Amino acid sequence: MKTVGHETERVREMKPITTPTKQGLYDPAYEHDACGIGFIANIKGNISREIVKQGISMLCRLEHRGGQGSDPQTGDGAGIMVQVPHYFFQQTCNDLNIPETGNYGVGMLFLPQDKEERKWFERTFEAIVQEEEQTLLGWRDVPVDASQIGQAAKKSQPFIRQVFIEKSDKSMSEQAFERILYVIRKRAESEALKRQLITCYFAS
């Protein structure tokens, strides 16, 4: 304690924050900083639109997650990650003949607004899928609402598409299929870099 004028001010000793010791499944070696994240799930594994709505509600409370610059309507970006919405795709992509869940993969791609560059990348991607002996079911344009984004964001706004790839061998394990999808992705990214096409990005 110390006296300031006629008032007595209590000064508390600052103690460093320490992590707990290693115990059970916990290991402090895996601790790391994180900012603005949340997790919502159904403990029984039930899939529902309500979980997505709760995720969006939580996202709206994380305004600080999107760092802002001189343009208050342009931030670093934030979003939600969900499971592959299988039933939604079956309803909205009838022309693609979506197979049963687990027999296909979905890629979310940010592509150039330039039509010729975009078509070049898509042809290159389709050739790689064929070389890896998988089946490309087709593409889907993702609906977007750009009315609320700032001018700075509009200058770099990508053309968003989804690509659907069916596994050629239904007996293939999920892990083996995931490896092939990873190879397809990395090969496509490599081809884009060779062409210096930096506006191609696999969001997932």
Residues catalogued as catalytic: 35
In the block, tokens 């997505």 appear at 52
Look at residues 113, 116, 110, 100 and name the one whose alpha carbon lies nearest to residue 163. 110
